[in-house]
Chain A
């Protein structure tokens, strides 16, 4: 069963705590992405990785960090420096960064109080 998995589906944290969101894919895709979606808005790119051990900042990287130690895994850490962390987080992957469609995981809804 190929696809992208994200865990957990729902996550609750207190302000000031770091939290790590998991993203795993078994599609053998080289590129992986993290997006944030706020109510009534489109997706905004946080970080992306074209290949293992390499990643680039997207449009809203401040307060987030990532790692890409394995091809199939691209975890996102939401740090306490992120001012408004409550949002819906989507992970995606694609075969490359050329003309390829991106496939999305089911998302993690993070609530920070």
Chain B
């Protein structure tokens, strides 16, 4: 059965810190790994990763995939209070996404 595990489950840091969120996965017929940010309601798409070792970057956020070790990380540099959210990782197998339980990130001013 496909499985996605995120760590840590909860993280509290100060504004300006750099954080690294982890996602490990086990999936048959791997196609891609996705990261989403969920604030109050709908998750919003951040990144889709399909190839190992190629970093995807958007502003202060970046993510990379290791298909050999079956994990991905999401980095956020110079954190701001607006980065406070639940970050969800999902792997895409044959026909559906399997989500991890999420990391709740809190940025204190």
Interface residues of B in 75-103 (CB under 8 A from A): 88, 90, 92, 95-102
Partner of A101, one of B48, B88, B101: B48
**Chain A residue contacts of B104, Cβ below 8 A:** 40
Tell me the minimal C-beta distance from B52 to chain A in angstroms: 15
* CB-nearest residue of chain B to A35: B99
Partner of A42, one of B31, B41, B50, B99: B99
Known A90-B42, A99-B48; contact A42-B96, beta-carbon cutoff 8 A: no
Partner of B41, one of A41, A98, A106: A106
Tell me the minimal C-beta distance from B106 to chain A in angstroms: 14
Size of B's binding interface in residues, CB under 8 A: 25
**Are A48 and B96 neighbours in the complex by a CB distance under 8 Å?**
yes
Size of A's binding interface in residues, CB under 8 A: 23
**Are B96 and A33 neighbours in the complex by a CB distance under 8 Å?**
yes
CA separation between A42 and B7, bound complex, in Å? Answer: 13
**Are B32 and A102 neighbours in the complex by a CB distance under 8 Å?**
no
A45 lies within 8 A of chain B by Cβ: yes
**Chain B residue contacts of A29, Cβ below 8 A:** none
Report which A residues bind B (CB closer than 8 A). Answer: 33, 35, 40-45, 48, 50, 56, 58, 90, 97-99, 101-107
Report which B residues bind A (CB closer than 8 A). Answer: 4, 6, 31-32, 34, 36, 41-45, 48, 50, 88, 90, 92, 95-102, 104
* A/B interface sample: 7 pairs, CB < 8 A: A50-B95, A99-B50, A99-B92, A101-B34, A101-B48, A104-B43, A107-B42
